Each structure stands twice: as C-alpha cells, then as structure tokens.
Amino acid sequence: MSNNSKYLAIRKGVIAAAVVLSAGLASGCSESGANGKTLPILGEREAVERELNGKTVVDTLYHQIPDFAFVDQDSQQVTQQTVEGKIYVTDFFFTSCPSICPKMKSQMLRVYEKFEDNPDLLLLSHSIDPQHDTVAVLKDYAERLGVKAEKWHFLTGEKDSIYDIAMKYLVAVQEEGDAASGGFTHGGHFVLVDGQRRIRGVYDGTKEASVDQLIQDIPLLLNEKRHAKK
Amino acid sequence: MRKNRWRTSALGLLLLTTLTQCFTDKQNEGQRLYAANCQSCHMEDGSGLRSLIPPLAGADYLQQHRQQLPCLTRHGIEGPMVVNGIEYNRAMPGAEQLGTDEITNLLNYIQTNFGNSNPRYTMQEVEQLLEPCPPHHN
C-alpha cells in the first residue's frame, strides 16, 4: 500500500474514536451555553474528518438515540417525531415490579409535577415486560398515577426493540431477575435526552438527591434549546 | 489465677457487647424489616403511590382488617381492596420468609408509626392469626 492510499484510507474512515462515559471528561469538551454552565454530552463519540472549501475539518459525531417506534397508553404511536424539537427524560420499568419501580415512579412524578406545564419536556417510560404490559395495563397504570398521556408516555412494543434501545440509553436491562425483583432486573436510571437525541445526563431514579439534580439540570437544557433557536 | 480472671472478664465483656447489640437490633427490627420488605412500594413515610399502591399512613384498613394482616403479610394479597375510600387493585407479594416474631415486629412498627397509633400485637396473638396460613414450602 502506498503512502498516499494509506492516507486516503485513513481519511475515509474514522480517525479517532473515544469512549467518553464520564461526565467530568465530557464537560471539558462541550460548548459553553448562555450562562456558562452546560450539560455534558455522554456516550461514545467519534471524530470524522471531511473536506470543506478545500480545507480539512474535523466533526465530532456524538452518540445518538436511533429512530424508534413504540405505542403508548392511548394506543398512540410514539416515535422520534414525537420528541422532535423537545427534550425528554426516559426510564425502564414494568408495572408488576415489586422492587425499585414504585420508588422510581414516585420520583418521576416529582419531575412531572415540576414541568407539567412546559410542553418542551416529555417523559417516556418503557416497559421491559411488554407481554404483560399491554396498552390496557399501561392505561390503567397511568390513570392510577393521575398523569396525562401527552406529557408522560408509557411505552410498550416489540420486546427486542425495547431491549435494544435500552442499551442505546446506556441502561442495563435483563430478563432473568430473581423472584424478589419480579423476574426482571434493570437499572433504575433516569436518562435526560436533548433535542438532537443525545444523552445529556444520567440520574439514579431511586434517589431523591439525584432526581433533585435532574430537576436542576432540565432548565439548563431547555435554555440551551431556546438559545439555539434564535 | 491472674490469667483466669483476665479471661473471665474478657468473656463477660464479650457477652455484654453481644447482648446489647442484640437488644438494639430488636428495637429497630420492625423498621429494618419494613425497609427490607415494604418500603420500596409503600414508601419511607408509608404514603403509598397515588391510586396504585395504598398508603399505610393513616390507613383505615389497618384497623378494619387487623385480624387478617399477619396472613396478608405472609402470603400477599391480590384483587381489589378499598383503603380510605379509594379502590386499589395491584398484587402485593408475600413475605414468606418472615417468622412469627418478625411479622409481629413488622406489624407493630406499621401500626405505631407514620402517624398511626393502633394497638400493638402480642406474639401469641400473631401466632394464632397465622395458623390458617402456614408458610408455603417451595
């Protein structure tokens, strides 16, 4: 292989890939926002070179949530278009969960109540037991929580799609829990996602202090969005 | 002789420490059992979760169904139930592994906390109430 073609091969491909999971590391690279404080962009990232006006520029490709299609408690399709131009908080649970889910839901209710009137924030809760958690079951669950479907979507769908997207949200879910966990194990994370479907924060949905942080971070992300629109 | 005395006092000290620890543990056992078995659904303050999970705090059910509570704790419960005028319908898993003494401590904790001031159970009473529902052996 000549030097030249080797160079091209490298140019064509990805030049550098860095796994950035730590918020601290990532925040060093993020652009500054309106008031100085911005949330980091989490997940794997790649630097890709491309040609622009005869000059080589490097773009950073951030980890992004892929397109998706699920059904909510009102039988409405919820896709990437539902969250377009909005930010959202998402988690994974199942309605018959006897372990951490009730605590997570009581904490998510705090987020719901805090931002109930802000149409730019949505909540998406995926069931990891879609066979049991049908639309009807989710509807009953949501009604008993007393929350509106247009704000807080409880999602069911293809099991594989749900487990796949959990990985994209960096949340571990597994179908082999013991009896005490209700037959499934899963992380109790709340994941904050921005308007470009990039992960901007991961919180422990079972800890009040962590959810306090989420409630503080949401306005920062909403601000960033407003700033970008101008 | 001197060695023996030393040994006796060391043994006594050990015994004392163990006993004290035992008593302290017992005192908090109800709370500990609540945290381990009930809290994730009924919440730290016994408030439950909206219309999904009934509250224990100020729940009329605790007084009205006092006799059933030991078996309900052991085997769980399914189907609709009304607490403070609200209908709930979500299965509660049982705590099969708990012994009579533990169920007594747990129920006494619930009956006398979260603003509740209902009469306590004696262990004999709980033992009697548990007779119709022996633990399932799996």
Which pLDDT score is estimated for A24?
39
Could you say which DSSP state residue A180 is in?
Answer: G
Higher pLDDT: A5 or B138? It is: B138
Least confident of A47-51, A174-178, A184-188: A174-178
* pLDDT exceeds cutoff 50 at A30: no
3-state secondary structure of A148: coil
Average pLDDT score over residue span B75-83: 96
CA dist., res. B61 & res. B47, Å (int): 14
Q: Which residue is closest to A97 within chain B, CA to CA?
A: B41
Is A100 within 8 Å of B93 when comparing Cβ atoms?
no
Complex ipTM > 0.95: no
Q: What is the pLDDT of residues A60-98, one digit of tens each?
A: 999 999 999 999 999 999 999 999 999 999 999 999 887
For B93-130, write each residue's pLDDT tens digit.
Answer: 999 999 999 999 999 999 999 999 999 999 999 999 99
Beta bridge partners of B128: none
CA distance A145 to chain B (A): 5
Percent of chain B with pLDDT over 70: 86
pTM of the model: 0.79
Smallest Cβ–Cβ distance between B49 and the set A98, A100, A106 belongs to A106
The per-residue pLDDT for B94 is 94
Q: Domains for chain A: give ranges and CATH numbers.
A: 3-41+67-229 (3.40.30.10)
Nearest to B52 among A98, A103, A144 (CB): A144
Cβ contact, residue pair A102, B51, below 8 Å = no
Which superfamily does CATH assign the domain made up of B25-130 to?
Answer: Cytochrome c-like domain (1.10.760.10)
Percent of chain A with pLDDT over 90: 65
Residue A92: CB partners within 8 Å, gap ≥ 6?
Answer: A125, A126, A127, A128, A162, A166, A169, A171, A173, A186, A187, A189
Check if the beta carbon of residue B129 is closer than 8 Å to that of residue B71.
Answer: yes
The answer to whether residues A203 and A96 touch, using CB atoms and an 8 Å cutoff, is: no
Angstroms from A102 CA to nearest CA on chain B: 5
* Cross-chain Cβ contact B50/A98 below 8 Å: no
B13 and chain A in contact, CB less than 8 A: no
Residue A99 binned pLDDT confidence (cut-offs 50, 70, 90): confident
